[in-house]
Amino acid sequence: MAKTTGEMEKKETQNMITIYLDGKEVEVPQGVSVLEACQMEGIHIPTLCYFEGLSPWGGCRICLVEIEGQPNLAASCVTPVREGMKIRTTSKKVREARRANLELLLSNHPLDCQLCDRNGSCELQDLAYQFGVREIHFKGERKTYEVDNSSPSVKRDAERCILCGRCVRTCREVQTVCAIDYANRSFETFISPSLGLPLGESVCVNCGQCILACPTGALSEVSHVDQVWDAIEDPEKFVVLQTAPAIRVSIGEPFGLPPGTISTGKMVAAFRRLGFDRIFDTNFSADLTIIEEGTEFINRVKQGGKLPLITSCSPGWIKFMEHFYPDLMDNVSTCKSPQQMFGAVAKTYYAQKLGIDPQDMIVVSIMPCTAKKFECQREEMSASGCQDVDFSLTTREAARMLKEKGIDLKEMPDEDFDDPLGISTGAAAVFGATGGVMEAALRSVYELLTGKTLEKLDFYPVRGIEGVKEATVEVDGMEVKVAVAHSLSNARQVLDWVRSGEAQYHFIEIMACPGGCIGGGGQPIPTNLENRMKRIEAIYQVDQSLPLRKSHENPAVKQLYKEFLGEPNGEKAHHLLHTHYLAREKM
Amino acid sequence: METIKWEDEHIFQEVDSIIEKYWEEKSPLLCVLQEISLRWHYLPRPLMQHVAEKLDVPSSKVYGVATFYSFLETEPIGQHVVRVCESAPCHVRGAMDVLSTLKRELGIKEGETTRDGKFTLEVTSCLGVCGVAPAMMIDQVTYGNLTPERIREVLTLYN
Amino acid sequence: MFYRMHVLVEMSSTSIPLGAAQIKERLEREVEKAGLSQEIQILESGSLGAAVPSPFIAVYPDNIVYAPVKIGEVKRIVEEHFLKGRPVKDLIYFKEKTPGVHAFLPRSPLAKEKRVVLRNSGLIDPMNIEDYIARDGYLALARVLSLSPEEVIGIVKDSGLLGRGGAGFPTGLKWEFTYKAPGEEKYIVCNADEGEPGTFKDRLILEGDPHSVLEAMAIAGYAVGANTGYIYIRAEYPESIRHLETAIEQANQRGLLGKDIFGSGFDFQVKIRKGAGAYVCGEETALLESIEGGRGEPRVKPPYPPQSGLWGKPTVINNVETLANIPPIILNGPQWFKNIGTPTCPGTKVFTLTGNINNLGLTEVPMGITLRELILEIGGGVAQGNGLKLVQTGGPSGGTMTPDLLDVPMDFDTLPKYNSALGSGALTVIDDTHCIVDVTKNFCRFFLHESCGKCTPCRIGNKRVVEILERISVGEGKMEDLDTLKFLGEHMKTTSFCGLGQAAPNPLLRCLVFFQEEFEAHIVDKKCLTGSCEMNKGQKVLVH
């Protein structure tokens, strides 16, 4: 994403050239594609394989335009503008050709929209509507494939795949995981995980960015919806909900609220009406995470432990590390993620408080994330004696449940989280955005180390959409060098610097998804740069609006230590709130 | 057919020596896969994975390449691959008869392998020996001006 | 050692499938049995083309060619000719009067031939660099090294040489673009991924005269500033690969390739990369992807290879036949070259005669020759006295020529005017006993099999086209299918990503127009007018 801004700046200094778009003379920067030129001029060109932030592919042949003097139509996404170029974007020839390619794609597509996860948010469906396709003229064999349910997070339904490759390029270019690629050729081409094995056996880190990139229902999350309904229904079960920091700024979108609308109160009210017994907040355990991780950092600094310390909140990043950077395992904080800390605390501390057998408690999380489904099923994540977090819903699944129950989030009153695991600070709120964990940690580490009150709480250098952010913060006479990376390609860059010794950091925050959790693979579709920015903005507004903005000031957390955990990083805290990792094959 | 334990250390060593041969080359993936398939007739998964690790190439890419090319196989095939040219120059000189003779003689259809694991029958694009059409290729050797009689004669060379 | 007699046995991909290796072995055994091993040297040679049936044995200095030789005849040739000095008259194919072994230049039995590219093929032992050197081999490279790169590019530009791979782009311009492109590292790539059905010229050039291509690559390297060349060659061509490997080794040993060639300070190495069975890799950017170890999917153009090619470096990609023209152009000058062929398409073209034709094989003739001369004179006419239905020029992706176009000059400029194309120079003759639906289906199946799958129109379009043709060929077609085929054909042509998908419908579109009644007969009357297709096997319908 940093690249995109960089490119824009570069273009501004470039020469302008004159082209003719549908007869209108316009000036556009040299070097842009015809598609980009059209976008700049407000001319809509339909696309499928083109995707913001990825290299252009030119394969779907939907964005075709007519260029004077060329007998063949050109794919606008891969055709650079030339001086004097005369382009027609909606001639009969163009419209017919686009529609024919769409019909060809549809001729190899199930056409059972009602049964599809993306019914209503499918780009193929939208185009068929916009192009007025009423009949498919090229009927023939349709490829059939088994659904791949092997992954705990991502479901693959290759029959719905149109081979646009957006998932492949996302996995390769944005995440550098390369878990999937094209296999076979011609009509037999399909997208395959490593070595033709099921996705669950591959290096896939479950980040779900491919789902956000997929224009159809070929990729979706593995649903926990039915299990959650069953739990709610079951009178024997006490069902506790936790909502991640990023949900409150995106859950409104499926209900027609603009991206970046803060819906905390409405969200709580809506889920309460769904039938959960308690509505708690992952922000509570985010504050708890800061106490544990901050303490770990201070101890490592004081005792000469392994540095840099790298955050561990993002389960996609954790699996990525286990596959590709197991040599840096000891640098990664042993703290569990807020989701898992919540589960462990809920099924011990809170269950005891209520006098409930943890076996009878179901902890459900709503996360902007698909990797959380994988995380909660990890063997290490049962400190309470049973699985600490039972089910993890994405924002999309949660919204669908509300809709099934006929709950319109917009119309909800504002209600408060339940006590005590619903109390949180602004520091926890910013966990949802890239740089947030770092900022929250710095606020607490500074005060805990120096004993002084921090005057300026906003650490602007770690905020924003830049791919890798660096800052040096003076804490108690020590120059603390920090780095923040979001998306795994950026993480890789920082980690390679660490490996080679090129950069000396003390503390690094890594989030697997671009923009941080607000851009997670479980978020509403579309999750694009614009929506990410709006959600980030909202996250900082939530922080600003709260009376308490430092994790160590959270009264509920203080009470938890006092009543139950004892010391941060103490024996009990270690047992419940910390974990270990395992090296995996780098396939 | 002999069963090979692909995870055996000595097989990996053999793969390593193939990789060693191309170590100095830029982007040697395809070369390495070709040699492995020459040696073992196909690309067993453990070997593809081993190559991916050694060459530091994603295994999804290795699989993508392995499945793209007609001459690379990812599933076990016969000891000898019979490739019948079905392109026009052979087609108009009786390639279909060649194919039906082979099907009859081997008792299999195209894409199949004989039960004894000896032959796999495949249809292929132009072999570039149109001067002696109709033609076929068995492993590395090309045979032309094929008649049912000549096909039977050629097959005996492999029995 | 002095031999009184040199015997060349054709060991080409045309002759080997016909038992040439066994013939050579028998020859060696018989010569030894006759006690002539010290007197007679047995060598290998490449193909002489359609002019001489395979396999042949050429005897020097007698200048006698036996062809086609059967294994049972070897004993007679040795006993009668080699031992007793009495040539076996009934086995002689032709006899030349001109003396000398390597100075010998055959006057082709077919006067229309003009051998530039094939100047050495069939005359020299390709496995022996001495033979090539004796015929002015590497002299052009030596001369080039005393010129400036600009001068070399100038000569090639002046010659008007057009790329022989099919597209006909001026070779000199390609070199100039690459020369001018910024960058220290540049590459020469020889495209020997000859996959166009019916084409095997590059194979026989590489088998018969591999050094001419190596020399040309070094010249190109010097001209554009590249020190490494790659030959990307089909895996289907083991003989060519073997000959190339030997040739590279010999050239390296003699300092004609490698470091500091001729003491000029110029380094040039040649490497071989093998294809793995993918026609699309003949497309130059797909070829680059394949050399880089990936799936052979074509790249977005621009940038073109002279700007950004192999590993993103400026790259010249030339076809084998194009390169084989370079040394003679350097030695004889551009004007000599321009005197051959037509003003806009100078030089010769190697054609491969395939299908239902009497003389199969390759032939090199000046550009602008007519199809009539090629098919009826050089090719000896349609096989078995049948009528001519069509000639597919340049393979399935080229053009479809009907008998009324026999007098059109064959060159890059003229054929497009007839919706046809010269392409690679493949000529597939199809006689009138063949069903057009069956033939069209064959062409379209080829493209379906070879599509890389990257773009929608090629991946799914080819599939739908083949499905419709399959339906028509078993009598299940509808008249609307013909409109759908036309629409899809035009659609694939104008919207596919690369040349493969754009060219795939060429034969379909032409045949739908030329042979409309045959398609309709399959659909309406449920019968095949030739009776040769799946529709009504056995119940042959007589026409004419």
Strands A361-367 and A238-243, sheet pairing = parallel
Q: Which residues contact B63 (CB under 8 A, 6 or more apart)?
A: A181, A183, A192, A194, A195, A196, B48, B74
Residue A331 neighbours by CB distance under 10 Å: 19
Please tell me which residue of chain C has the smallest CA distance to A99: C491
- Our answer to whether residue A469 is catalytic in this structure is no
A143-222 CATH: 3.30.70.20
Tokens 């990812």, residue? B74
Tell me what pLDDT residue A11 has.
Answer: 46
Determine whether A375 is an active site residue: yes
Cα maximum dimension of chain C: 75
Q: Among the options A333, A337, A384, A392, which is catalytic? A: A333
Q: What are phi and psi of B56, to 5 degrees?
A: 55, 50
The 10 Å Cβ neighbour count of residue A411 is: 10
Cβ contact, residue pair B59, A185, below 8 Å: no
A380 catalytic? Reply is yes
Q: Which of B45, B52, B63 sits opposite A192 (nearest CB)?
A: B63
At B57-107, the pLDDT tens digits run 999 999 999 999 999 999 999 999 999 999 999 999 999 999 999 999 999
pLDDT of residue A525 exceeding 80, the answer is yes
Which stretches within A421-563 are classed as H helix? 426-429, 436-450, 488-500, 529-545, 555-560
- The reply to whether residue B88 touches residue C392, judged by beta carbons under 8 angstroms, is yes
The label of the residue with tokens 């069509």 reads C390
CA dihedral C90, C95, C99, C104 (to 10 degrees): -120
In this structure, which amino acid lies at residue A261? T
pLDDT at C95 (0 to 100): 62
Q: Would you state the CATH architecture of domain A16-141?
A: Roll (3.10)
Task: Give alpha helix (H) positions in B41-157.
Answer: 45-55, 59-68, 88-91, 95-106, 148-156
Q: Which chains touch C (3 or more CB pairs under 8 A)?
A: A, B
Cβ neighbors of C233 (< 8 A, separation 6 or more) are C192, C193, C206, C240, C241, C244, C272, C273, C274, C275
Quick check: A140 and C495 CB within 8 A?
no
Q: What is the pLDDT of residue A5?
A: 43
Tokens 């075709």 sit at which residue?
Answer: A64
Question: Structure pTM?
Answer: 0.93
Contact B87 C197 (CB under 8 A): yes
Radius of gyration of chain A (CA): 25
Residue A91 has pLDDT above 80, yes or no: yes
Share of chain A above pLDDT 70, in %: 97
Instruction: Give the model confidence (pLDDT) of C297-318 as tens digits.
Output: 999 999 999 999 999 999 999 9
Complete DSSP assignment for C367-408 = TT-BHHIIIIIIS-SBGGGPPEEEEEETSTTSEEE-GGGTTS
**Catalytic site includes residue A263:** no
pLDDT at B29: 97
Mean pLDDT of A378-401: 97
Contact (CB<8Å) B67/A185 = yes
Q: What is the mean pLDDT of residues A543-551?
A: 97
Looking at residue C167, its pLDDT comes to: 86
Q: What was the pLDDT predicted at A205?
A: 98
A365 touches B: beta carbon within 8 Å = no
B92 neighbourhood in chain C, CB within 8 Å = 355-356, 428, 430-431, 434, 439
- What's the pLDDT score for residue C448? 97
Instruction: Give the distance from residue C424's alpha carbon to the nearest chain A alpha carbon, in angstroms.
Output: 22
How many angstroms separate the CA atoms of A427 and A539, rounded?
A: 10
Closest Cβ–Cβ partner in C300, C461, C464 for A78: C300
How much of chain B is in helix, strand and coil states, percent to nearest 5? 45, 10, 40
Is the pLDDT confidence value at A430 over 70? yes
Q: Is A447 annotated as catalytic? A: no
Structure confidence at residue C46 (pLDDT): 81
- pLDDT given for residue C104 in this prediction: 35
Q: Touching check for A71 and chain C: CB below 8 Å?
A: yes
Phi, psi values for residue A219, rounded to 5°: -125, 130
As a CATH number, domain A225-577 is: 3.40.50.1780
Q: Is A60 assigned a catalytic role?
A: no
- Do the beta carbons of residue A350 and residue A240 sit within 8 Å? yes
The answer to whether C249 touches C288, Cβ cutoff 8 Å, is: no
Structure tokens at C523: 């659909």
State how far Cα C87 lies from the chain centre.
34
Encode pLDDT of A456-498 as tens digits.
999 999 999 999 999 999 988 889 999 999 999 999 999 999 9
Higher pLDDT, residue A129 or C13: A129
Full set of structural domains in chain C with CATH? 5-98 (3.40.30.10), 132-335 (3.40.50.11540), 340-431 (3.10.20.600), 436-537 (1.20.1440.230)
Q: What does the mean pLDDT of chain A come to?
A: 96
- Point out the least confidently predicted range of A548-552, A564-568, C162-166: C162-166
Q: How far apart are CA A504 and CA C244, in angstroms?
A: 53
The size of chain B, in residues, is: 159
- Of A156, A53, A56, A161, whose CA–CA distance to A106 is shortest? A161
Please give chain C's pLDDT, 544 residues, in tens.
578 888 889 988 888 888 899 999 999 999 999 888 888 888 888 887 777 888 999 888 788 889 899 999 999 999 999 988 889 988 888 765 443 333 333 444 456 788 899 999 888 999 999 999 999 999 999 999 999 999 999 999 999 999 998 889 999 999 999 999 999 999 999 999 999 999 999 999 999 999 999 999 999 999 999 999 999 999 999 889 999 999 999 999 999 999 999 999 999 999 999 999 999 999 999 999 999 999 999 999 999 999 999 999 999 999 999 999 999 999 999 999 999 999 999 999 999 999 999 988 889 999 999 999 999 888 889 999 999 999 999 999 999 999 999 999 999 999 999 988 899 999 999 999 999 999 999 999 999 999 999 999 999 999 999 999 999 999 999 999 999 999 999 999 999 999 999 999 999 999 999 999 999 999 999 999 998 887 866 444 444 3
Q: Given a cut of 60, is residue A272 above it in pLDDT?
A: yes
Higher-scoring residue by pLDDT: C56, A182: A182
Among partner residues C300, C453, C491, which is closest to A186 by beta-carbon distance?
C453
**What span, in angstroms and rounded, lies between the C-alpha atoms of A246 and A532?**
11
Q: CATH 3.10.20.740 residue ranges in chain A?
A: 16-141
Q: Do C495 and A64 touch (CB under 8 A)?
A: yes
Position C308 scores a pLDDT of: 97
| pLDDT band of A1, cuts 50, 70, 90 | very low
Catalytic residue at A77? Answer: no
| CB pair distance less than 8 Å for B92 and C360 | no
Using a CB-CB distance cutoff of 8 angstroms, which residues of chain A are in contact with residue C278? 185
CATH 3.30.70.20 in chain A, residue ranges: 143-222
Give the whole-angstrom CA distance, residue C336 versus residue C306.
Answer: 28
- Kindly indicate the confidence band of residue B6, based on its pLDDT and cuts at 50, 70 and 90: confident
